[in-house]
Amino acid sequence: MSDGDGEAGNSAYGRKAFKRSRSHFADRITADGRDGWPVEPGRYRLVVSRACPWASRALVSRRLLGLEEALSLAVADPIQDDRSWRFTLDPDGRDPVLGIRWLSEAYDKRETGYPGGVSVPAIVDVPSGRLVTNDYQQITLDLATEWRALHRAGAPDLYPEARRAEIDEVMAEVYRDVNNGVYRAGFATGQEEYEAACAGVFRRLELLAAQLERQRYLVGDTITEADIRLFTTLVRFDAVYHGHFKCNRWKLTEHPVLWAYARDLFQTPGFGDTVDFDHIKRHYYQVHTGVNPTGIVPLGPDLAGWLTPHHREDLGGRPFGDGTPPGPVRPGEEVPARGRP
């Protein structure tokens, strides 16, 4: 799955050229439990930051598939400290289920003295408190396929077998040029490196737009994993990638096709209701001090446009295929008003 660039540890924010390395903990939670981690309702806890695009994929998948009951959720503070992701949004600064203050405690339980970065998304085994996986490329694919027995009635097939080759191909291009491309532009420390990454972002987005002008979703006529992965970058585009990461050839709101596509998904239950623009902006602008030394968080952009009509229904498509949209957000998991349009 990975093309060789994977993990964004703290070093990613330093002076060296930006390089992702692979996720370290790549055990899989599967229906047959072959890695020792069988799918079981209530056994695992998904730890995310709503700021993080990689973790946000899992937030969307979990909602679309109706896994909220089976896989509980911990939301970390968008601002890490020197011990990384922490649960300061919870009473007493402790995750109420795992009883820990920092996600690193679950990493330590899994591997003493683990030298790598602590990253989200992470799935933790609740009974033992041990980290199971931080493999963000695999987590959502497994939610879509291995967790099927626990999906809600009417859950969509986000990774349909017949279209996997096509979905994989689109996701690889989107990952390289867009999902990770914005990071390569934003953390570039040389002009040429920045220009190549930034040009790559917009080249790929234009290619995708040419396709999305004619069809409602990236692959077939229903929402798939490929749409989730493009959405999590697009939804951050004007808020952080355009300014902070200097991907500023145009704003998403200036691109009729992609802006309508992103709004369509945002307004689909399970997408926009997971997005916290306050967490997104504070994380990027305050944590990446190499890029933004003052830590000042901009007031804009105006978010009201996210809720305006998109008219993408005119292209046809069946968002959930033979399934249905998910119900309302679980009580206690709503995004606070300050993070919403």
| Binding-site annotation: residue ranges for glutathione | 85
Which three-class secondary structure state does DSSP give residue 85?
coil
Residue 50 has which token pair?
């709503």
- Under rule CB under 6 A, residue 181 binds ligand GSH: no
Q: How far is the CB of 310 from ligand GSH (least distance, A)?
A: 27
| CA–CA distances in Å: residue 312 to residues 147, 172, 229, 274, 291 | 30, 25, 19, 21, 36
Kindly tell me which residue out of 101, 117, 173, 305 binds ligand GSH, with binding defined by CB under 6 A: 117
Kindly tell me which residue out of 48, 70, 120, 197 binds ligand GSH, with binding defined by CB under 6 A: 120
CA distance 107 to 265: 34
Q: Interface mask (CB under 6 A) for ligand GSH, residues 134-163, using x and -?
A: xxx---------------------------
CA distance 301 to 59: 23
Nearer to ligand GSH, 118 or 239 (CB): 118
Which pairs count as long-range contacts for 245-254, CB under 8 Å and 24+ apart, including other chains? 245/182, 245/183, 245/185, 245/186, 245/284, 245/291, 246/185, 246/186, 246/194, 246/198, 247/182, 247/185, 247/186, 247/198, 247/201, 247/202, 249/198, 249/202, 250/202, 251/301, 253/301, 253/305
Q: Enumerate residues 6+ apart whose C-beta is below 8 A from 73.
A: 45, 46, 48, 59, 62, 333
Nearer to ligand GSH, 72 or 134 (CB): 134
**Which residues are designated catalytic?**
52, 183
Nearer to ligand GSH, 72 or 119 (CB): 119
| Phi and psi based region of residue 220 (left: phi greater than 0; alpha: psi -120 to 50; beta: remaining) | left
Q: Interface mask (CB under 6 A) for ligand GSH, residues 66-85, using x and -?
A: --------------x---x-
Q: How far is the CB of 236 from ligand GSH (least distance, A)?
A: 10
Nearer to ligand GSH, 135 or 146 (CB): 135
**Amino acid of residue 118:** V
Q: How far is the CB of 215 from ligand GSH (least distance, A)?
A: 29
Residue 259 has which token pair?
């802006």
Angle (CA) 57 108 125, round 5°: 50
Annotated binding residues, as ranges? 85
Residue 94 has which token pair?
């402790």
Q: Interface mask (CB under 6 A) for ligand GSH, residues 215-254, using x and -?
A: ----------------------------------------
Q: How far is the CB of 238 from ligand GSH (least distance, A)?
A: 18
Nearer to ligand GSH, 52 or 124 (CB): 52
List binders of ligand GSH among 264-303 (CB under 6 A). none
- Under rule CB under 6 A, residue 10 binds ligand GSH: yes
List binders of ligand GSH among 49-68 (CB under 6 A). 52, 54
Which three-class secondary structure state does DSSP give residue 314?
helix
Q: How far is the CB of 111 from ligand GSH (least distance, A)?
A: 14
User: C-alpha 145: how far from its chain's center?
Assistant: 18
Kindly tell me which residue out of 61, 104, 119, 138 binds ligand GSH, with binding defined by CB under 6 A: 119
Ranges of beta strands (E only) in 72-185 are 72-75, 122-125, 130-133
Nearest to 328 by CA among 121, 159, 152, 141: 152
User: C-alpha 212: how far from its chain's center?
Assistant: 21
Q: Given the rule CB under 6 A, which of 129-137, 167-175, 192-200, 238-246 is the region that contacts ligand GSH?
A: 129-137
Nearer to ligand GSH, 51 or 260 (CB): 51
Q: How many residues bind ligand GSH (CB under 6 A)?
A: 17
Q: Could you list the residues that contact ligand GSH (CB under 6 A)?
A: 6-10, 23, 52, 54, 80, 84, 117-120, 134-136
